Amino acid sequence: MGCGYDNVYQARLAAEELRSEINRHDYLYYVLNQPEISDAEYDELMRKLRAIEEHYPELVTPESPTQRVPGQPVETFGVVEHRVPLLSLANAFNFEELRAWYRRACVLGEVEGFDMVVEHKIDGLSVALVYEDGRLVQGATRGDGLRGENVTENLKTIRSIPLFLRGNDVPPRFEVRGEVYMPKDAFEKLNEELAARGQKLFMNPRNAAAGSVRQKDPRVTASRKLDIFVYQLGWCDGPHPRKHWDILQWLQEMGFRINPNNVLCHTLEEVQQQWERWVEGRYQLPYEIDGLVVKANDLDIWDRLGAVGREPRWAIAYKFPPVEATTRLLDIRHNVGRTGTINPYAVLEPVKVGGVIVKQATLHNEDIIKSRDIRIGDWVVVHRAGEVIPQVVGPVVGRRTGEERPYEPPTSCPACGGEVVRPPGEAMRYCINPSCPAQAFRWLTHFVQRAAMDIDGLGEKWIEALMREGLVEDPGDLYYLREKRDRLLSLERMGPTLADKILRNIEESKKRPLDRLIFALGIRHVGSEVAELLAYEFGSIDRLSQASLEEISRIPGIGPKIAESVYQWFRNERNRKVLEKLRRAGVNMGDAASKEAKDGPLKSKVIVFTGSLKSMTRSQAQELVRRLGGMAKDTVTRNTDYLVVGEDPGSKLAQAQRYGIPTLSEEEFLDLLRRHGVEV
Ligand code: AMP
Ligand code: ZN
């Protein structure tokens, strides 16, 4: 296939134009988070460039974006001598230590005080990137600080590392330093994949990033989702700003990815405010940090202070309480999930992690326990990723005494003693006793939750009490509690006001839209998103329950595993009985009319809302979207068609901008509705 150019001169010009075009879009996407074109348009530019380079191989340059494709494996990495050593950092573990550092720096620097740049201390591995005439010529690890490994080929596969730089005043030769890291979600996914293949897991995102960069085979590196934040100028031939803050700005303009959370502080109190903000805020970040790095802003102060040993005096790491700790694994126990899953969890000797006392941690499933070789009695590393339950990362093998016992998965249900099976291809075991009380309990708590039928006031304690008294066995029974009001009142600590409130909320919940009901049914693998799809496609429980396996699997976005699970759910005797109870009680089960709406003017359009609307509530707006045949969803994905932006929009706005999804103001949204005959 030709590339559309008759001679090499034209082709060269076109290739150069395409490269700078692609480079600009990489910058917009990876550095500024503000893409201007869709993924498809981007792919088209790449395709054109590749076509030219295939036709005229002599035009390929090492920094062409096509050269991010991984090369051949290497035996060993070359050694790189760092022109200026990569230092470590001294630590401050509390405010007093931070203040001591600051005062000492003032004395040695002969200043009254100084401005500081406060940055996240990213938990990854540091790299040094050398650019010559604006082109990446070398990427190296820190190594021992004086000598590192040449990992240029691997680093080239990271899209946020520019291969050539933007602008006209790029210094002839300089080095930048940055932290390569693996985002938390990429790390979780990688470990899941490794566990599925029975391979050894990474302990934390830092190890995963380091392991990925130091791969002998760049193809493996390319398959890992790595990213970089550049945090410093290493050395530079040629003029550059003399304030660290300005340097970061300058580097960003050249095309480097700079952390948007960096701040310039004038006082220690401001630094402390940042520390307090991030010590809890860190859990919401997509990457792990173990503290802040505080750096003097003025490079003259850097020069005056110098370093002691391997630690510069002009910077310090202001650490957070660690999110990892070691403790004893006392036992492995199980609870039973809503769909009968037997979930192993760790009982730990209480230990402080990230500022809270942890006594339990998840162990996910038996494959993970096996592949991490976790044994009862082990000393284990516990990791707290945020608000979620902490997890056991792995054993400290060196501390074994020989007394440790390997894990034996249960052969009977710990709640009901019923039979336990492990379906082929699944990592979990299930209790298959249909009347297992633990399953019913989980199902009930799932059914009443906010995202499902939203029955306020029915907490776990009440559900437990209702089950104990034999008032409910499954969600269907909730709708007949009204007839048993006397027995409800006889529950300990239940009064008439509360009882009536609960009964009213149960009545209210009969009107929930179909997708909420489908989600509330607690079908294995059916989350809110899938429930919405099913509601949208089938319009009613009747149609859904009669759908064939083929009909269900034909829906885009629904894989065979989900389809099978949905299909089987409606074939189950107990489930059918519950549905019957719900129907008789008058719970909304959808109707054929909503199926008609599918051909409405907003057909197949996915609309998401953020912020608050002035003219109506969020759920009213979503209902209108559905009435016109559209899908109202709660999260922004690449498939979202519009984001409607109300007052005080949340993070969805940035997300939408990142994907280049059009936004509508409330007025524009109302116009859209009016054009389709809705009176608003
Ligand atoms: P340490 O080796 O733990 O004493 O800390 C020094 C290391 O922190 C550096 O080598 C970098 O890899 C890492 N680091 C992470 N984020 C930053 C940052 N914003 N500025 C400087 N170093 C950082
Ligand atoms: Zn059971």
Q: How confident is the model at residue 280 (pLDDT cuts 50, 70, 90)?
A: confident
92 strand-pairing partners: 318
Domain shared by 633 and 591, yes or no: no
Domain shared by 193 and 264, yes or no: yes
Kindly give the interhelix angle for 8-26 and 39-55, rounded to the nearest 10 degrees. 150
Per-residue pLDDT at 248 exceeds 80: yes
What are the tens digits of pLDDT across the range 336-380?
A: 988 889 999 999 999 988 778 999 998 988 888 988 899 999 999
Number of domains in the chain: 6
What are the tens digits of pLDDT across the range 55-95?
A: 999 999 888 998 887 777 777 889 999 999 999 999 999 99
Domain shared by 345 and 448, yes or no: no
Burial 105-118 (b: 16+ CB within 10 A, else e): beeebeeeebbbbb
- Regarding pTM above 0.75, the answer is no
- Spatial distance between the Cα atoms of 664 and 650, rounded to a whole number of angstroms: 14
CB 17 within 8 A of CB 5: no
- Spatial distance between the Cα atoms of 510 and 527, rounded to a whole number of angstroms: 20
For ligand 1, whether the C-beta of 127 sits within 6 Å is: no
Angle at 80 between CA 75 and CA 81, to 5 degrees: 150
Q: Which residues are catalytic?
A: 121
Of 465, 509, 507, 504, nearest in space to 487 by CA: 465
Domain shared by 244 and 312, yes or no: yes
Q: Looking at the domain assignment, is residue 76 inside a domain? A: no
Cβ neighbours around 486 below 10 Å, total: 8
Atom 22 (ligand 1): residue with closest C-alpha? 121
Going from the Cα of 317 to the center of ligand 1, the distance in angstroms, rounded, reads 8
Of 380, 415, 450, the position where a domain reaches its end is: 415
Of 378, 325, 332, nearest in space to 352 by CA: 325
| Domain, as residue range, for 497 | 437-509
Atom 18 (ligand 1): residue with closest C-alpha? 121
Which of 126 and 622 is assigned the larger pLDDT?
Answer: 126
- Burial-class residue 332 by CB neighbours within 10 Å (0-12, 13-18, 19+): buried
Of 490, 509, 528, the position where a domain reaches its end is: 509
For ligand 1, whether the C-beta of 521 sits within 6 Å is: no
Tell me the CATH number at 183.
Answer: 3.30.470.30
Per-residue pLDDT at 508 exceeds 80: yes
**pLDDT given for residue 642 in this prediction:** 92
**pLDDT given for residue 339 in this prediction:** 85
Which of 77 and 503 is assigned the larger pLDDT?
Answer: 503
Ligand nearest to the CA of 145: 1
Minimum mean pLDDT range among 259-268, 381-390, 462-471: 381-390
What are the tens digits of pLDDT across the range 633-671?
A: 888 887 889 999 999 888 888 888 888 888 999 999 999
Going from the Cα of 88 to the center of ligand 1, the distance in angstroms, rounded, reads 7
Which of 376 and 529 is assigned the larger pLDDT?
Answer: 376
For ligand 1, whether the C-beta of 261 sits within 6 Å is: no
- E strand or H helix at 566: helix 560-569
**pLDDT given for residue 631 in this prediction:** 83
Ligand nearest to the CA of 418: 2
**pLDDT given for residue 260 in this prediction:** 94
Of 451, 477, 509, the position where a domain reaches its end is: 509
Atom 8 (ligand 1): residue with closest C-alpha? 121
Per-residue pLDDT at 404 exceeds 90: yes
Q: How confident is the model at residue 51 (pLDDT cuts 50, 70, 90)?
A: very high
Domain shared by 249 and 236, yes or no: yes
Domain shared by 519 and 635, yes or no: no
Q: Looking at the domain assignment, is residue 39 inside a domain? A: yes
- E strand or H helix at 324: strand 324-336
Domain shared by 174 and 228, yes or no: yes
130 strand-pairing partners: 138, 175
If DSSP codes are grouped into helix, strand and coil, which group holds residue 63? coil
What are the tens digits of pLDDT across the range 410-427?
A: 999 999 999 999 988 888
**pLDDT given for residue 336 in this prediction:** 92
What are the tens digits of pLDDT across the range 443-491?
A: 999 999 999 999 999 999 999 999 999 999 999 999 999 999 999 999 9
The CA–CA distances, whole Å, from 22 to 69, 161, 162, 257 equal: 15, 13, 11, 16
Q: Looking at the domain assignment, is residue 429 inside a domain? A: no
For ligand 1, whether the C-beta of 122 sits within 6 Å is: yes
Angle at 584 between CA 578 and CA 590, to 5 degrees: 85
Q: Looking at the domain assignment, is residue 163 inside a domain? A: yes
Ligand nearest to the CA of 82: 1
Tell me the CATH number at 52.
Answer: 1.10.287.610
Domain shared by 498 and 543, yes or no: no
What are the tens digits of pLDDT across the range 554-612?
A: 988 898 889 999 999 999 998 999 999 999 999 999 875 555 556 678 887 889 999 99
**pLDDT given for residue 462 in this prediction:** 95
Mean pLDDT estimate for the chain: 91
Q: Report, as an integer, the average pLDDT of 19-31.
A: 89
For ligand 1, whether the C-beta of 126 sits within 6 Å is: yes
For ligand 1, whether the C-beta of 666 sits within 6 Å is: no
Atom 23 (ligand 1): residue with closest C-alpha? 121
What are the tens digits of pLDDT across the range 151-184?
A: 999 999 999 999 999 988 899 999 999 999 999 9
Nearest atom in ligand 1 to the alpha carbon of residue 315 is: 21
**pLDDT given for residue 594 in this prediction:** 56
**pLDDT given for residue 597 in this prediction:** 59
Per-residue pLDDT at 388 exceeds 80: no
Going from the Cα of 430 to the center of ligand 2, the distance in angstroms, rounded, reads 8
Domain shared by 529 and 631, yes or no: no
Highest mean pLDDT among 94-98, 196-200, 387-391: 94-98
Per-residue pLDDT at 1 exceeds 70: no
- Burial-class residue 502 by CB neighbours within 10 Å (0-12, 13-18, 19+): buried
CB 164 within 8 A of CB 134: yes
- Spatial distance between the Cα atoms of 620 and 507, rounded to a whole number of angstroms: 20
